[in-house]
Amino acid sequence: MSDPYGYSQPVERPKTLTYAVYGMWLGGLLSIVSTALLFTMDTTEMKSLMVTEMEKQPTYDPSVFDAREMVDVMVPIIQIGGAVFGAIALGLWIWMAVMNGKGRNWARITATVFGALSLAGSLSSVGNLAGNAALGGASMPMSPLSVALAVIDPLLVIAILVLLWVRPSSAYFSAVGAARKRQRTGYYAG
């Protein structure tokens, strides 16, 4: 990138940021795979577990609603909601990859917030699974691929966040920001 006044040399994007951007594209791909798993899983076992858990509840009254009918309605809603969430997640991964690749510092901060929220969600999921296992509660069946994605995703997020904030990436974001400011103001301060 150079400004119209010829004051700056093009800024080369460091490998650390390039790897972070590749990681974001990989995150988008993983969100597609994760969403596709919602529609390829066998829902029979999931429905059976959901019915069993509903019927165990002390407030369950079969005269008010039938658990099987309720589950038959809920599973497609869960799948559609998961598909919508997956599409939003894919859009966010792509947006962050493009904007961080361009050296936009606001995108680095936004990606960090999204990453922190993702990690909090991952920890919450792990906590729920561990709690259910410890208390003898039922947990939804997970395919080996779903388990692998549940492990890979937080590791990928951590790697991306580290790569976004290491010194070479930070220097690049600063240089791009300074060059953009010079272009906007027409002033060379350095």
**pTM summary value:** 0.80
Residue 8 lies in a domain: no
Whose tokens are 């492990």? That residue is 151
Q: How confident is the model at residue 186 (pLDDT cuts 50, 70, 90)?
A: confident
pLDDT above 90 (res 44): no
Range of the domain at 39: 15-185
Total tally of structural domains belonging to the chain? 1
Q: How many CB atoms lie within 10 A of CB 153?
A: 19
Residue 62 lies in a domain: yes
Residue 47 lies in a domain: yes
Query: pLDDT of 134-153, one tens digit each?
Result: 666 656 667 778 878 888 99
What is the average per-residue pLDDT within 158-168?
A: 98
Residue 123 lies in a domain: yes
Q: What's the CA gap between 32 and 87, in Å, rounded?
A: 8
Q: What share of the chain is helix, strand, coil (3-state, %, to 5)?
A: 75, 0, 25
Residue 2 lies in a domain: no
Q: Of the given ranges (13-17, 108-112, 138-142, 159-163), which has the lowest mean pLDDT?
A: 138-142
Residue 190 lies in a domain: no
Structure tokens at 163: 């790569």
Query: pLDDT of 45-90, one tens digit each?
Result: 778 888 888 888 888 888 888 888 888 988 889 889 999 999 999 9
What's residue 129's pLDDT? 67
Residue 7 lies in a domain: no
What's residue 10's pLDDT? 63
